[in-house]
């Protein structure tokens, strides 16, 4: 669920600008990969010939999980209480069964 009052119309712009920054700076400076498969695949396949290729694989798996945990914690602690509606507490114009999948007969 998107937070009430969030500017959803510019979400694509934020994602696009982030990718532009990654391509302009991070790839050229650090050689980072935007696609984890392009980094993990060659590291795992080439590990037999060169075990040093696996030295930073842990970073591609653990860092996003840690970042998600920190982001969730910060959002819960810094966001206003009334911004996040309680589950089932929000009023809706849509009937509860209107979006439920229908069984095929």
**What is the distance between the alpha carbons of residues 7 and 13, in angstroms, rounded to a whole number?**
11
Q: pLDDT digits over 10-52, tens only?
A: 888 988 999 998 888 888 887 777 887 787 888 888 888 888 8
Cβ–Cβ under 8 Å, residues 39 and 33: yes
Query: Residue 31: which region, alpha, beta or left (left: phi > 0; alpha: psi -120 to 50)?
Result: left
Please tell me which residue, 7 or 105, carries the higher pLDDT value: 7
Name the band, by pLDDT with cuts 50, 70 and 90, for residue 66: very high
**12 phi and psi, to 5 degrees?**
-65, -35
**22 phi and psi, to 5 degrees?**
-60, -45
Q: What number of residues does the chain have?
A: 105
Cβ–Cβ under 8 Å, residues 2 and 78: no
Tokens standing for residue 3: 């937070």
Looking at residue 17, what is its pLDDT? 93
């Amino acid at each position: 669920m998107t937070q009430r009052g969030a500017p959803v119309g510019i979400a694509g712009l934020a994602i696009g600008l982030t990718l532009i920054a990654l391509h302009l700076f991070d790839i050229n400076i650090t050689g980072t990969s935007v696609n984890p498969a392009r980094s993990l695949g060659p590291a795992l396949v080439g590990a037999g010939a060169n075990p040093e290729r696996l030295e930073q694989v842990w970073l591609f798996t653990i860092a996003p999980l840690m970042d998600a945990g920190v982001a969730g914690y910060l959002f819960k602690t810094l966001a206003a209480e009334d911004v996040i509606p309680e589950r089932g507490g929000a009023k809706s114009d849509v009937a509860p069964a209107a979006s439920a999948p229908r069984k095929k007969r």
